[in-house]
A and B are shown apart, each in its own frame.
Chain A
Amino acid sequence: MFLSRRLLAVADKELKEILRDKLYISLAFGVPLLLFILFGFGLTLDVNNIPFAVIDQNRSPLSRAFTDRLAHSRYFAFQGYVAAEKELYAGLVDSHIRLGLIIPPNFDRTLASGQASDLQALIDGAFPDRAAAILSYLDIIQQEFNRDLAPARPAGTLAAPYIQVESRAWFNPDLQSRNFIVPGLIATNLFFYPALLASIAVVREKESGAIFNIYCAPIRTWEYLLGKLLPYWAIGFLNYFLLVGLAEFVFHVPMRGSLVFLTAAAWLYVGVTTSLGLFISVLLRTQVGAMLLTTVITLIPAFIYSGFFISVASMAPEAQVMAAILPVTYFMEIVRGVYLKGLGLQQYWPNLLILMGFFGAFFGLSLLKLKKRLE
């Protein structure tokens, strides 16, 4: 009874149309693949291979040792020695280097005498987060350098800190931002793309006139809408498997929690985002309009407000309201919880309930807005 013949007829017809549209079907899988790979590889919050140059006024074994240590760390990439400060400035201006070091003439003698030597570091501060990262990497390397140097010095000449703060990162011990970004991308992609795919479902028939077949037939609106929704839901769900596969086999992101739980949650979540697309499709009159609106209301908020970059807790109150009304926020918690912390149903059942609420709201609104008679 639930799956009435008319509903199945609509779903079957829709699926055939989708599968035969070569362009649509290749976009349906090609675009999320492309987006995922682009963002997965390109979007990293780690700072690696920072290009730097050095003015070595000391030219001693010690000053060269310090430069070598920087050059051999994975954070920095040595671009060579320069003679004058203005060359450093020029390098910073044209982004050839991000860091310029000036080692003073009496560097080795000062250190040998047990005193602290000054070291001038010019950092490209255009992107504050990166500048902070450079500074802290520099700090770590300098501390290591100091520690290695300590036994060689006369005892008591340098107040070597005997309490060392050893920090260890939980959940993401390598502090690999990829392990954090890639699961996040699953949430944002599945917010944007299934909605976009479904956003043409009804509006396409409005444009062609085929919607009149439905208006004039004794089919109920829920049968029609659910029949429309199912094929897009299925495609979105297949997209989920594609993305999880990429995370596993291309990005090698470890999953600590249950794949079964994540899959079940993703099935619900894709239902929510597909029905959001369906609602937009019912609301608007042209395919172009529906696709634009869907892109605007899903793609950008998915990255900004979902907690993808910045955790929701540290957002401004207004932004937190935005986060609360977006389904992506709730799935973002689930997907990162499963991947990074190994959490599951026990922690995230409220999220699932909220997602169900979203589904009910979007599908219900679609039902309310789709009228079989024009005004």
Chain B
Amino acid sequence: MAASPLSGPPIIELEQVTKFYRQTPAVQDVSFVVQPGEVFGLLGPDGAGKSTLMQIMAGVLRPSHGRVRVAGVDVTSDPEAIKSRIGYMPQGLGLNLYDALSVAENIHFFGKLREVPADVYQRHKDELLATTQLAPFVDRPAGQLSGGMRQKLALCCTLIHLPQIIFLDEPTTGVDPISRRDFWLIINRLVVAEGATVIMTTSYLDEAERCHRVALLHKGRIIAQGETAVLQAEAGGDAQGRVCSLEEVFIRAMVQETAVTIPDPVSFCTLPGSEPMIQVEALTKKFGAFTAVDRVSFTIYQGEIFGFLGPNGAGKTTVIKMLTGILKPTSGRGCIAGLPIGRDGSRIKAHLGYMSQKFSLYRDLSVAENIRLYGRVYGMSRADLAARLPEILALADLVGQEDRLAGDLPLGIRQRLALGCAILHRPNVIFLDEPTSGVDPIARRQFWELICSLASQGVTIMVSTHYMDEAQYCQRLAFVHQGRIVGLGPPEELRQQAEAASGQHLEIVSPQFGQVFQALRQHYPRAFLHGSRIHIPTKTPDQDRQQITDRLEGVGLPVTAITITSLTMEDTFIYFIQEQQHVP
């Protein structure tokens, strides 16, 4: 039963919670409440303090100051009292699993640990395995599951005792879109059918729109909180009259906090040239029996921004490593600027800039030392380097801060510096491997501006990401799933193609969305909850809209609005994955 509107005594209350690690504040003066039966989202970039708050609420981290009450218990003084009623899933793709144990054994261990009675255990287990579609894999060791499957298994383990209060720390980061959809099915079922309360963190702001209420966290402080729909409405619509995205809400709140100027959403710079810069044909990489990259083919033109969109483990990094000559392909061909990859290593490398995932700067070296090191590695002359240094500093917004250690820079700035180092030797092709992972929305936008300005200078850019919303910045896009490219083309074309084949969504807004959802689900089995709204995929929107209105009137449930929405990039991706699964 979903309580709607959400009211009554809160199930979680935080009052002025502060946490210091030694002298460094991780969380400062945070207060919020969570109502029973809601999905509450803690949003923010890496290092905002999300995990710290989750651990404090779950009673596994002692706050420096402040009061935390969960289900009527003072967690600060008696953390053990809540532990039988909570489920907590730590950050990282299934890091709390036991790799040597099979799927069934992992679930079994958690069942025993929680002392779930045998009959209840069997019922929960069957339900969870069915919803997560893990049932065919019960005997497979957890260590041999894909990232998405691991995360779903971790969720099964966390939920096996049907906790009242569920803490999920970045449950969907880097997870493939299908697993992510399954994940939300489970969450919504628990909330609707069992009255559970879910508190989750995420750095995907588009996904966070599925939460009933959210708190935006930046540098350890809450900069905005409230009902998702209300926050979006308060921020006003954009020029086309569409609802404001949570990213926009976040950026506006950050601007108030930090007084930076709002960067406009990036729009297209120049059209790419028609000169092919990177050509890849049936590129394949096998690690033993595992095929990491399976017959991948694409062409990237000069000055183009080409996006590689896919979850962790899809093979994005492997493709980039083969193109940059770090890995040798098992089979297939590729060439960059007319030079075949895998041979002529040093000649090709002079053309390439590469910014690797997570690591690309020496944290113990200063800004200037990092730049000089890269320059020397690429064999630049002293004079050339001296001329280039100020340009890179300006690009990274680090003029006058040459002596700061790279490790002390905020993540967003550090990534700009890393990009600066990658383009120091003026390459015509650059590979960026998840450059914006965990970066805050403003820094992310600034980073994309930088990428666009490079492209407009004729640089060819291949960028990988697991943020669906970054698809809009790419001129062309490849959906990567399990080592294959399942869809390729300009993002808008891909979306329209998916829409033409699978239909659009009807979005239903109602103050009693819980009951409305229950009532509609019997007739529309594909209906799902999107935050406090109900989405129904349909190919005949107008007809269905009328039908839904009639049905709800018949049972006396109120409806605020029914609108037709277009597919999101995630929906589009799912469509292409499912299309591909029919191809042998």
Of the residues B59, B86, B105, B112, contact of A16 by C-beta under 8 Å: B105
Do A5 and B112 form a contact, CB below 8 Å, given A21-B100, A210-B95?
A: yes
Of the residues B83, B100, B141, contact of A216 by C-beta under 8 Å: B83
A11 smallest CB distance to B (angstroms): 11
How many angstroms from the CA of A374 to the CA of B54 in the assembled complex? 13
Q: Are A213 and B110 in contact (CB under 8 A)?
A: yes
Q: Are A208 and B100 in contact (CB under 8 A)?
A: no
Question: 0/1 per residue, A326-356, Cβ < 8 Å to B?
Answer: 0000000000000000000000000000000
Do A17 and B62 form a contact, CB below 8 Å, given A217-B113, A372-B79?
A: no
Q: Are A10 and B113 in contact (CB under 8 A)?
A: yes
CB-CB < 8 A to B97: which residues of A? 210
Of the residues B60, B88, B110, contact of A373 by C-beta under 8 Å: B60
How many angstroms from the CA of A191 to the CA of B324 in the assembled complex? 51
For residue B58, CB closer than 8 A to chain A, the reply is yes
Q: Are B96 and A208 in contact (CB under 8 A)?
A: yes
Q: Are B113 and A219 in contact (CB under 8 A)?
A: yes
For residue B109, CB closer than 8 A to chain A, the reply is yes
For residue B325, CB closer than 8 A to chain A, the reply is no
Q: Are A17 and B101 in contact (CB under 8 A)?
A: yes
CB-CB < 8 A to B61: which residues of A? 373-375
How many angstroms from the CA of A9 to the CA of B105 in the assembled complex? 11
For residue A317, CB closer than 8 A to chain B, the reply is no
A18 smallest CB distance to B (angstroms): 8
Q: Are B88 and A218 in contact (CB under 8 A)?
A: no
Q: Are B83 and A218 in contact (CB under 8 A)?
A: yes
Q: Are A372 and B80 in contact (CB under 8 A)?
A: yes
CB-CB < 8 A to A5: which residues of B? 112, 115
How many angstroms from the CA of A373 to the CA of B81 in the assembled complex? 13
Q: Are B114 and A217 in contact (CB under 8 A)?
A: yes
How many angstroms from the CA of A373 to the CA of B58 in the assembled complex? 9
CB-CB < 8 A to B62: which residues of A? 373-375
How many angstroms from the CA of A208 to the CA of B94 in the assembled complex? 9
For residue A13, CB closer than 8 A to chain B, the reply is yes
Q: Are B101 and A210 in contact (CB under 8 A)?
A: no
Q: Are A216 and B88 in contact (CB under 8 A)?
A: yes
Q: Are B96 and A213 in contact (CB under 8 A)?
A: yes
CB-CB < 8 A to A222: which residues of B? none
Of the residues A210, A216, A217, A219, contact of B98 by C-beta under 8 Å: A210
A69 smallest CB distance to B (angstroms): 64
B141 smallest CB distance to A (angstroms): 8
Of the residues A6, A10, A16, A213, contact of B101 by C-beta under 8 Å: A16
How many angstroms from the CA of A24 to the CA of B57 in the assembled complex? 37
For residue B87, CB closer than 8 A to chain A, the reply is yes
Q: Which residue of A lies closest to B87 (CB)?
A: A216
Of the residues A17, A212, A218, contact of B90 by C-beta under 8 Å: A212
Q: Which residue of A lies closest to B101 (CB)?
A: A16
**Count of residues in A whose CB is under 8 Å from the partner chain:** 26
CB-CB < 8 A to A375: which residues of B? 61-62
How many angstroms from the CA of A28 to the CA of B90 in the assembled complex? 31
> A residues 207-250 with Cβ under 8 Å of B?
208-210, 212-219
How many angstroms from the CA of A139 to the CA of B193 in the assembled complex? 95
For residue B427, CB closer than 8 A to chain A, the reply is no
Q: Are B109 and A9 in contact (CB under 8 A)?
A: yes
Do A209 and B96 form a contact, CB below 8 Å, given A216-B58, A218-B80, A219-B113?
A: yes
How many angstroms from the CA of A13 to the CA of B100 in the assembled complex? 10
CB-CB < 8 A to A208: which residues of B? 95-96
For residue A20, CB closer than 8 A to chain B, the reply is yes
Q: Which of A12, A21, A210 has the most chain B CB within a 10 Å cutoff? A: A210
How many angstroms from the CA of A16 to the CA of B59 in the assembled complex? 29
For residue A8, CB closer than 8 A to chain B, the reply is yes
Q: Which residue of B lies closest to A213 (CB)?
A: B96
Question: 0/1 per residue, B109-125, Cβ < 8 Å to A?
Answer: 11011110000000000
Q: Are A212 and B84 in contact (CB under 8 A)?
A: no
A142 smallest CB distance to B (angstroms): 66
Q: Are A212 and B60 in contact (CB under 8 A)?
A: yes
Of the residues B86, B96, B113, B141, contact of A9 by C-beta under 8 Å: B113
Q: Which residue of B lies closest to A14 (CB)?
A: B98
A9 smallest CB distance to B (angstroms): 3
Q: Which residue of B lies closest to A214 (CB)?
A: B113
Q: Are B100 and A20 in contact (CB under 8 A)?
A: yes
How many angstroms from the CA of A131 to the CA of B378 in the assembled complex? 63
How many angstroms from the CA of A17 to the CA of B102 in the assembled complex? 10
A192 smallest CB distance to B (angstroms): 25
Q: Which residue of A lies closest to B88 (CB)?
A: A216
Q: Are A216 and B86 in contact (CB under 8 A)?
A: yes
Q: Are B92 and A17 in contact (CB under 8 A)?
A: no
A340 smallest CB distance to B (angstroms): 43
How many angstroms from the CA of A10 to the CA of B84 in the assembled complex? 17
A14 smallest CB distance to B (angstroms): 9
Q: Are A373 and B100 in contact (CB under 8 A)?
A: no
> B residues 55-96 with Cβ under 8 Å of A?
55, 58-62, 79-80, 83-84, 86-88, 90-92, 95-96
How many angstroms from the CA of A10 to the CA of B101 in the assembled complex? 13
Q: Are A372 and B60 in contact (CB under 8 A)?
A: yes
Of the residues B91, B96, B115, B141, contact of A210 by C-beta under 8 Å: B96
Q: Which residue of A lies closest to B167 (CB)?
A: A216
How many angstroms from the CA of A8 to the CA of B83 in the assembled complex? 19
27 residue pairs from A and B, CB less than 8 Å apart = A5-B115, A6-B115, A9-B113, A13-B101, A16-B100, A16-B101, A17-B98, A20-B101, A209-B91, A209-B92, A209-B96, A210-B95, A212-B88, A212-B96, A213-B157, A215-B59, A216-B58, A216-B87, A216-B88, A217-B113, A218-B84, A218-B114, A218-B115, A372-B60, A372-B79, A374-B55, A375-B62
Residues of A bordering B, CB below 8 Å? 5-6, 8-10, 12-13, 16-17, 20-21, 208-210, 212-219, 372-375
Beyond A6-B115, A214-B113, A218-B80, list 5 extra A-B contacts (CB 8 Å). Answer: A20-B100, A209-B95, A213-B157, A219-B113, A373-B79
Q: Identify the 9 closest CB pairs spanning chains A and B, nearest first.
A: A9-B112, A209-B95, A20-B100, A216-B88, A215-B60, A218-B84, A218-B83, A212-B90, A17-B100
